[in-house]
Amino acid sequence: MRSYSLTSPAKINLYLEIIGDRPDGYHELAMVLQSIDLADRIDLRSISTDTISVRCAHPQVPSDCTNLAYQAAALIAAEFPDAFAQFGGVEITIDKHIPIAAGLAGGSSNAAAVLVGLDLLWQLGLTQSELEELGSQLGSDVPFCIAGGSAIATGRGEKLSPLPSIDNLYVVLGKYRNLDVATAWAYQTYRAQYGNSYVAGKQDLKARAAAVHSSSMVQAIIHEDPIAIGQRLHNDLERVVIPAYPQILLLKETFQTAGCLGAMMSGSGSTVFALCDSEQQAQKVQQQGRNLAQPKDLDLFIARLTSTGIQVLSSDKD
Ligand code: C5P
């Protein structure tokens, strides 16, 4: 097979708790991550030259080595030099639908798709856990994006425990086009303001991370209770991102008053999602978003929760 097309879905954070510092400079987190069917499409094509190239029509997506999808291919090429020599280079084409710098893991999901696709293109036969390990070298959300679905994520975000799927729910996503939040800034600001309340001891950190497994959010998912899931949405990063960008709160309140199950910022923002129990409810909430005072700058999407991560759409022999 000389080319693969893959779907590369976005994620939302149903729950994000910052527990403490890590020796590597990152944060210990306790999260519940959820894939949604708003997805990019990634095409991988073998080329005769031994180069990696990235093409994307979106003006804000870089095509050089700063693109996480490029870095995923470079990592596989470095780890498996014989396969790189045998199969040659790769052309990566990204068809962007997921808003960028939005807290939806678009870049991480694209990197995960390149890992999954190159494993197939170069016939490496990697296991899911080997792909996740490679993914963790690229970014904290990349391991989750490989298998996707619903999962508890602890550590940096790379320690995953799958949860039962809740793919009968919908979300409305609201993202201000000119409001991009840098993830590193959000975490650094959180540390500066709340670092003195971090859990410090190794055992205490472990216990706090383990507690998410029996948390009310996880119970709500296990019992397939949409109302309880909506009530237990949580994101610590709202504490620093919302004061800096009050329009995020306005959007969240608009969604809440429109009658959804719950509304929350995803990841480090700036996307706000409204959890809805039907497509009809989602359409009503989306309409309320459109009625906001300045909707021109606001992109609104409806997506369904999905139990799958990266999937092959098609493959071709030259
Ligand atoms: O892993 P990733 O590159 O996606 O993380 C982006 C930034 O978010 C990191 O540079 C770090 O500042 C912050 N981060 C963190 N702790 C985590 C994940 C991310 O502090 N567990």
Name the band, by pLDDT with cuts 50, 70 and 90, for residue 296.
confident
Q: Ligand 1: does its nearest atom lie under 6 Å from the Cβ of 157?
A: yes
- pLDDT of the residue at 318: 59
Percent of the chain scoring above 70 in pLDDT: 98
Which of 17, 183, 208, 212 is the best mutation target for the ligand 1 pocket, counting ligand atoms within 8 Å of the beta carbon and taking the most? 183
Q: pLDDT at residue 294 above 80?
A: no
- Looking at every residue in the chain, the average pLDDT score rounds to 96
Name the band, by pLDDT with cuts 50, 70 and 90, for residue 1.
low
pLDDT average, residue stretch 181-205: 96
Q: Ligand 1: does its nearest atom lie under 6 Å from the Cβ of 140?
A: yes
CA of 188 to the centre of ligand 1 (A): 9
DSSP H or E run through 180: none
Q: Name the H helices within the chain.
A: 68-79, 81-87, 106-121, 128-136, 142-147, 183-194, 202-211, 216-222, 226-231, 238-244, 247-257, 279-290
- pLDDT of the residue at 196: 96
Q: 220 is in which domain, residue-wise?
A: 1-318
- Residues 244-287 have pLDDT tens digits of 999 999 999 999 999 999 999 999 999 999 999 999 999 999 99
CA of 154 to the centre of ligand 1 (A): 13
Least confident of 110-119, 153-162, 201-210, 268-277: 201-210
Whole-angstrom Cα distance, residue 144 to residue 270? 20
- pLDDT of the residue at 292: 82
DSSP H or E run through 201: none
pLDDT average, residue stretch 278-306: 92
Q: Ligand 1: does its nearest atom lie under 6 Å from the Cβ of 144?
A: no
Q: Ligand 1: does its nearest atom lie under 6 Å from the Cβ of 106?
A: no
- pLDDT of the residue at 97: 98
Whole-angstrom Cα distance, residue 75 to residue 19? 30
The protein residue whose alpha carbon is closest to atom 8 in ligand 1 is 184
- pLDDT of the residue at 293: 67
Phi, psi angle pair for 89, to nearest 5°: -85, -175
- Residues 139-152 have pLDDT tens digits of 999 999 999 999 99
- pLDDT of the residue at 48: 87
- Residues 14-50 have pLDDT tens digits of 999 999 999 999 999 999 999 999 999 999 999 988 8
Q: pLDDT at residue 295 above 80?
A: no
Whole-angstrom Cα distance, residue 199 to residue 18? 9
Residue 141 annotated in active site: yes
Q: pLDDT at residue 99 above 70?
A: yes
Residue 202 annotated in active site: no
CB 70 within 8 A of CB 52: yes
Q: Ligand 1: does its nearest atom lie under 6 Å from the Cβ of 198?
A: no
Name the band, by pLDDT with cuts 50, 70 and 90, for residue 238.
very high
- Residues 51-78 have pLDDT tens digits of 999 999 999 999 999 999 999 999 999 9
CB 251 within 8 A of CB 289: yes
- pLDDT of the residue at 88: 87
pTM: 0.97
Count of the separate structural domains present in the chain? 1
The CATH number covering residue 271 comes to: 3.30.230.10
Of the listed 119, 141, 236, 252, which one is catalytic? 141
